[in-house]
Chain A
Amino acid sequence: MKSMTDKRKALSVIIPAYNTQQHIEKCVESVLAQKRKDLEIILINDGSTDHTEHICKNLKQTYGEQILFLTKQNEGVSAARNLGIEKANSSYVMFLDSDDFLEPNICSKMLENAETFDLVICGYAQCEKDTEKIMSSFSCPSFSGKREDFLVHTASYLNPPFLLGPCFKLFNLDLIKKNQILFPPELSYGEDAVFVFHYLEICRSIRCIPDIGYYYRKNQKSSLSAGWKKEKLQINYRIAKQIETLLIQNHIANYQDISDGWFLNCITSYMQETAVYENSFQEVKGVFRNVKNIYQVNRLLADMKCRTKAQHILRIAARGKIWENILYLFRLKSYIQRKNL
Chain B
Amino acid sequence: MTHEEKISVIVPIYNVENYLERCLKSIQCQTYQNLEVLLIDDGSSDRSAQIAKRYCEKDRRFFYHYKKNGGLSSARNLGLNMCTGGIISFIDSDDYVKKDMMEKLYKSMKRCNSKMALCNFQYIYEEAAKLPETKISVSDGTITYQEFWDFYYEGCQAPCVVAWNKLYHRSLFEDIRFPEGKVNEDEFVIYDLMKQVDNISFVQELLYFYVQRTTSIMGSKNPVKMLDGIEALLKRNEQFYEDGSYHLCERTLHKCIYGLTDIYNLIRQNNMDLPERYVSLCEMLKKELFSHYKFVEDTKLYLKARIYRIVGYQFFIWISNWKRRGK
In the bound assembly, the distance between CA atoms of A218 and B83 in angstroms comes to 29
| A241 with B82: CB separation less than 8 A | yes
* Chain B residues near A (Cβ < 8 Å): 1-3, 6, 65-66, 78, 81-84, 174-175, 177
Assess whether A293 is interfacial by the CB under 8 Å rule: yes
In the bound assembly, the distance between CA atoms of A245 and B65 in angstroms comes to 7
| In the complex with contacts A234-B84, A290-B174, A241-B6 CB distance below 8 A | no
| B84 with A241: CB separation less than 8 A | no
| A293 with B177: CB separation less than 8 A | yes
In the bound assembly, the distance between CA atoms of A239 and B246 in angstroms comes to 46
* Neighbour of A294 across the interface among B3, B6, B81, B84, CB < 8 A: B81
Which of B3, B65, B78, B84 is most buried by chain A, counting CB atoms within 10 A of its CB? Answer: B84
Main secondary structure of the interface of B (DSSP, over half): loop
| A187 with B3: CB separation less than 8 A | yes
Residues of A near B84 (CB, < 8 A) are 187, 231, 234-235, 238
| A186 with B177: CB separation less than 8 A | no
Sorted nearest first, the 4 A-B pairs with minimum C-beta distance are: A238-B82, A186-B3, A237-B81, A290-B175
Sample of 20 A–B contacts (CB below 8 Å): A186-B2, A186-B3, A186-B6, A187-B3, A187-B84, A231-B84, A234-B81, A234-B84, A237-B82, A238-B82, A238-B84, A241-B82, A242-B65, A245-B65, A245-B66, A248-B66, A290-B175, A293-B175, A294-B175, A294-B177
Residues of B near A335 (CB, < 8 A) are none
Identify 8 new A-B residue pairs, CB closer than 8 A, beyond the known A186-B6, A238-B82. A186-B1, A234-B81, A234-B82, A237-B82, A241-B78, A241-B82, A293-B175, A293-B177
Residues of A near B174 (CB, < 8 A) are 290
Main secondary structure of the interface of A (DSSP, over half): helix
* Chain A residues near B (Cβ < 8 Å): 186-187, 231, 234-235, 237-238, 241-242, 245, 248, 290, 293-295
In the bound assembly, the distance between CA atoms of A293 and B80 in angstroms comes to 13
Could you tell me the distance in whole angstroms from the C-beta of B103 to the nearest C-beta in chain A? 19
Residues of B near A241 (CB, < 8 A) are 65, 78, 82
In the bound assembly, the distance between CA atoms of A118 and B274 in angstroms comes to 65
| B3 with A295: CB separation less than 8 A | no
* Neighbour of A295 across the interface among B6, B81, B83, CB < 8 A: B81
